Amino acid sequence: MHQIEITYTKNLHTQCKHLQSGNKITTDAPVENHGTGKAFSPTDLAATALGSCLLTIMGIAAQTHGINIDDSVARVTKIMSKDPRRIGKIIVEIDIPYELSTKEQRLLKQAAKGCPVHHSLHPDIEKEIIINFNA
């Protein structure tokens, strides 16, 4: 069990604290929804969680099989839908800066399919995952 404590500070800002580590994240409403856009929005965090989870799951597989994916980068694009306002699509493009064998590439792609965040997001949210090797 993991717990997070969230405090509404003011002006559409929250402070989220991971109780186990003490790490904190501040959120703000996006500009198009009455915020200032000076921090992650809650929907930004949901989209970010997908990219971070994909890299983490791939990292576990890489570590297990002696594959280096250090300095790999995931770029996340979140596209909102209207009526109802929700996340409509998340695009995650992952660049792995190494030339890997076909077997290693297949192993990492297969690991990415096990991402718990991907499986936790509503099926109506379109998810596009692109993995570039030797990028």
Residue tagged 């576990």 (tokens) = 60
More confident residue, 108 or 135: 108
Q: Which structure tokens are listed for 113?
A: 């399919």
Distance CA 47, CA 77 (A): 8
Q: What is the pLDDT of residues 43-77, one digit of tens each?
A: 999 999 999 999 999 999 999 999 999 999 999 99
Residue 135: band (very low, low, confident or very high) from pLDDT cuts 50, 70, 90: confident
Domains of the chain by residue range: 1-40, 41-133
The pairing of beta strand 126-133 with beta strand 86-96: parallel
pTM of the full structure: 0.94
Helices (H), 1-135: 42-64, 102-112, 116-120
Q: Which CATH architecture has domain 41-133?
A: 2-Layer Sandwich (3.30)
